[in-house]
Structures are given as structure tokens and as C-alpha cells.
Amino acid sequence: MSHHGNTWLLGLLAGFLLILGANLVASVLPQDDTGVQAAQERAAFLRSWKPAIPIGSEAPNFTLKDRDGQAHSLAEFRDKTTLLCFYSDDRRSRTWAREMQKLWDHIGKTKMHEVVVVSLSKEAAIAFARETKDTGVYLFEDADHHPVRDRYGAAPGPNAWVIDRKGKIQQASAPIDTDKNPDQDFNQVYQALRALVPLPVVNNDIPAWARGVQRPPPDRD
């Protein structure tokens, strides 16, 4: 093949590689930009969001039945710090539940309670708890009539309230509207719990995001 032929082929190959590289960059950058923009929008939302019940207020008491039909009131858990969660049967709630179990394991399950309010069927709630390894106390209210969820202003999906031993709300999570890991929300729950359970941490299984390390992608259902 002539010198001109080789030059032509090299030029064609270089052009192809340039086009391929441009397409790869174009496919990656929008995703990165979208992630950064979403994080910025979430941070701005958290700065302006106010919970339905102000921080420092007494957590409204309620009584609901567990899956065995036994009634429980929120007040009966006041001997320890309580993490009150509201879950829906969705990916966001599963991600949140898995992370809350990591926190509970890290802090120590004898140091706090976890109470979960759901509007699921008992069968769906049992499957949810089994899948996420959630060992909290599950309490049920009707899917069409949920006064506890409404009183707390819990949006569909995962929500969490940190309640101290005096029954005062110390932290409330804003509605989660993304399937991506809401690291900042997780960390706020962790910091609120650690402030109420100030015993030295002796185990090293603290979730990476609570150490300021970027977390891996969320679990996929």
C-alpha cells in the first residue's frame, strides 16, 4: 500500500477514535452534571424544608397494632432513644431500611428502639422486613386512612424521626424523592442518634457514608 494510502487509513482511524471519544464523554458528562445538580438541589431543599412538627416538640403519641394484633403505643418506648420510621413498599424505603439497620447494628441494638409504621399488608411488611433484615417493631395503619402518617407529615416513601427518652423530636427527615442514596439525610439521622447515645463506639462497622466516604450504588430490587 502506498504512503498516501497509509496516511489516509491513519487519518480515518484517528477520526473514528475522536468521534468515539466524544460520544463517550457526552454520555458520561450529562450524568455527572445531573448528579451534581441533584445534590445541589437536595442541599438547597434541606436548608429551607421545615418538618410538620418542629424539632424539640413532643412526639405525638399513637397506638397501633403489630402483626400479631398486639397494640403498642409510642410512649412505651421512652426508656431509650427511638428511631421512628415510615416506609412504603418501594425501592427508596428498602434502601433506607437497609442503611438504618447498619446504623442500629453500629450503635448497638440494646441502646435504642426502632419503630416502623407502615400502610402495607402484613404479608408485604413481613417480606419487606425479611428482605431488608429489619428487626424493628412494625405497626400497621390502613392504606387509605393513615392518621399517624398524616400527623407526622410523613410523605410516601422513607421518612425517619429521632426521638429522645423524654419523647422529644430531635431530628426529622425530609421527604426522599429520589432512588439515589440520600447520603446527607442518612448522616443527619446518624448524627442525631449519636448525640443521644454518647457511649464510645467500640465496633468498626460504621457505614462508609457516616465517615464522610462516598457510598457505593444503592441496592437494586
DSSP for 52-80, written as a single string: SS-TTSBPPP-EEE-TTS-EEEGGGGTTS
pTM of the model: 0.76
Share of the chain above pLDDT 90, in %: 47
HSE (side-chain half, CA atoms, 13 Å) at 92: 20
Residue 56: beta bridge partners? none
Inter-residue contact 116 to 149 (CB < 8 Å): no
Per-residue pLDDT at 14 exceeds 80: no
pLDDT band at 82 (very low <50, low <70, confident <90, very high): very high
Neighbours of 56 (CB within 10 A): 9
Q: Cell numbers for 65, please give them.
A: 397494632
Inter-residue contact 155 to 136 (CB < 8 Å): no
pLDDT tens for each residue of 150-196? 999 998 889 999 999 999 999 998 887 766 666 778 888 888 998 99
Q: Cell numbers for 46, please give them.
A: 434541606
